[in-house]
Amino acid sequence: MLAKVEKAFKELLTCLQTAKMYGTMHPMFQKSLDKAYAAFEDVLAQRQEMVIGIVGDELAFEKEILFDLGKLLRSAILYLKERNIERLAFYSGLSKEELGKFVGLLAGPKEDFKTDPQVLLVHIGVQNISIGKLKVDGRKENDILAGNQLELYNSSMDRVSQVLSSVLNSEKIDPLGLKFSLNNIIDSLGTQRQELLKLATVKRYDAEIYVHMLNVSIFAMYFASRLGFEKNDILDIGVAALFHDIGKLYISRKTLHKPDKLSEQEFNRIKSHTVLGAEFMFEYVDSLGILPVVVSFEHHLKYDSSGYPRMPLLRKQHIVSSIVAICDVYDALSQRRGYKQDYSPDVVYNIMNKDRGSAFDPELLDKFFRFMGFWPVGSVVALNDGSIALVKDENESDIRRPKVEIVFPKDKRRLVDLIQDNSLSIERYLNPWKEGREYLQLA
Ligand SMILES: [Fe+2]
Ligand SMILES: [Fe+2]
């Protein structure tokens, strides 16, 4: 595979040189474009995408810094860097026409790249290539390339809070930038799924509601990808999920966080976040599409339509609203799991399954837990032999018996697949903020 990637990249550079020498209308260019495209097809026939990054002066493929291709490549790297390109992703479905347009763009003057290069690509109709910077706010490039999910989560968090506050102030938003950063999350869900989901289940911030919205978006994109949605749809679902509670930001914190029983009026006020949110998102239909409107409006409607807002005519939830509704409740309950001791994953599972068929689409709910696992990745659990383990990966065939790593006692350290080792089982969950805390560091 590495050799194929290397070949594709070399052909791309040759093609670029030809374009610079002869222009893109010359038969020579067509010839080298044919060759380059064949090399890309070769790679993309075997994988969904090919992501190349520039770190320092090296070229990297996925997590590894790969090849030292000598002086020719050095100037190419410089060429790309001058155009603010540090990351190139090519997706399966790439057409020769798109590749040709992309090379044509690259061959142009570097002044063309003063604006966000991704915008340029979209402008000329190239969908299956994305380009941009690796670096986020001067954070270490190596960290991001090495798949540092915390960086990714944090930078997405920044982007999310920015976008949300723009929507609240009825300002213009940058839909492309938003999609680009959610796209990074999708990329990571492919290879670094555990790490990222762990962050969404364990990592907590002060800005509770922003965290909630980003988490729901991450869960929804992961869920949608496992359900087999196309990448473009996953992205749209992620965007819709991100804004599902936007209406809440307009309701006073006092009402939202009131510990005592709410008056009917207060409760109605909270319920209105659905309609309010839909109204907000309606302003962005042109750039973000209709899904955010639908999902804001429907995410509390419930599967059997018994929720709110009440509708004069029976209306069934859109499937994306059903997906978001599951992720929404899951995150809300899991947040309680973070701080309080009362909601361990088994409790969350039981609470949600009580509403199977009423609040939640039963089939979707089953699938959700099959993909997420009963004990989420990153959980600290006590086993029946008294050892302590971290959950590493789910087993879809038996969601209660994941793959775990025993971390304590130290001399027992090892990976165990609970499906294979029947003598061991999970006895109980340790709260990561309390008793489980010391074991998290042993990971
Ligand atoms: Fe909500
Ligand atoms: Fe929510």
Please write the tens of the pLDDT for every residue from 348-374: 999 999 999 999 999 999 999 998 889
User: Which residue has better confidence, 369 or 54?
Assistant: 369
Ligand number with the minimum distance to the CA of 296: 1
Q: Does residue 48 have a pLDDT over 90?
A: no
Ligand number with the minimum distance to the CA of 213: 2
Ligand number with the minimum distance to the CA of 211: 2
pLDDT of residue 196: 60
pLDDT of residue 433: 73
Q: How far apart are CA 119 and CA 176, in angstroms?
A: 7
Question: How many Å lie between the centroid of ligand 2 and the Cα of residue 291?
Answer: 16
Question: How many Å lie between the centroid of ligand 2 and the Cα of residue 212?
Answer: 7
Question: How many Å lie between the centroid of ligand 1 and the Cα of residue 273?
Answer: 7
Q: How far apart are CA 399 and CA 409, in angstroms?
A: 25
Pick the CATH number of 147-372 from 3.30.1330.10, 1.10.600.10, 1.10.3470.10, 1.10.3210.10: 1.10.3210.10
Question: How many Å lie between the centroid of ligand 1 and the Cα of residue 279?
Answer: 14
Confidence band, pLDDT 50/70/90 cuts, at residue 328: very high
Taken in order 346, 378, 423, 371, the sign of the CA dihedral is: positive
Residue ranges covered by each domain of the chain: 2-132, 147-372, 380-440
Q: Does residue 141 have a pLDDT over 50?
A: no
Model pLDDT for residues 250-260, shown as the tens digit of each residue: 777 677 777 77
Lowest-pLDDT range of 32-46, 83-97, 331-345: 331-345
Q: 369 is written with which tokens?
A: 């837990």
Ligand number with the minimum distance to the CA of 277: 1
Ligand number with the minimum distance to the CA of 309: 1
pLDDT of residue 82: 78
Contact (CB, 8 A) for 239 and 339? no
Overall average pLDDT of the 150-172 stretch? 70
Overall average pLDDT of the 170-196 stretch? 68
Confidence band, pLDDT 50/70/90 cuts, at residue 146: very low
Confidence band, pLDDT 50/70/90 cuts, at residue 180: low
User: Which residue has better confidence, 229 or 115?
Assistant: 229
Question: How many Å lie between the centroid of ligand 2 and the Cα of residue 273?
Answer: 10
Question: How many Å lie between the centroid of ligand 1 and the Cα of residue 246?
Answer: 8
Question: How many Å lie between the centroid of ligand 2 and the Cα of residue 329?
Answer: 7
Question: How many Å lie between the centroid of ligand 1 and the Cα of residue 103?
Answer: 45
Overall average pLDDT of the 222-233 stretch? 89
Ligand number with the minimum distance to the CA of 274: 1
Task: Report residue 317: phi and psi, to 5°.
Answer: -60, 140
Question: How many Å lie between the centroid of ligand 2 and the Cα of residue 48?
Answer: 32
What pTM does this model have?
0.64
Question: How many Å lie between the centroid of ligand 1 and the Cα of residue 356?
Answer: 19
Question: How many Å lie between the centroid of ligand 1 and the Cα of residue 245?
Answer: 5
Ligand number with the minimum distance to the CA of 270: 1
Q: How far apart are CA 363 and CA 370, in angstroms?
A: 11
Q: Please report, rounded to a whole number, the percentage of residues in the chain having pLDDT higher than 90.
A: 33
pLDDT of residue 199: 59
Ligand number with the minimum distance to the CA of 247: 1
Q: How far apart are CA 334 and CA 177, in angstroms?
A: 29
Q: Does residue 283 have a pLDDT over 90?
A: no
Q: Does residue 135 have a pLDDT over 90?
A: no
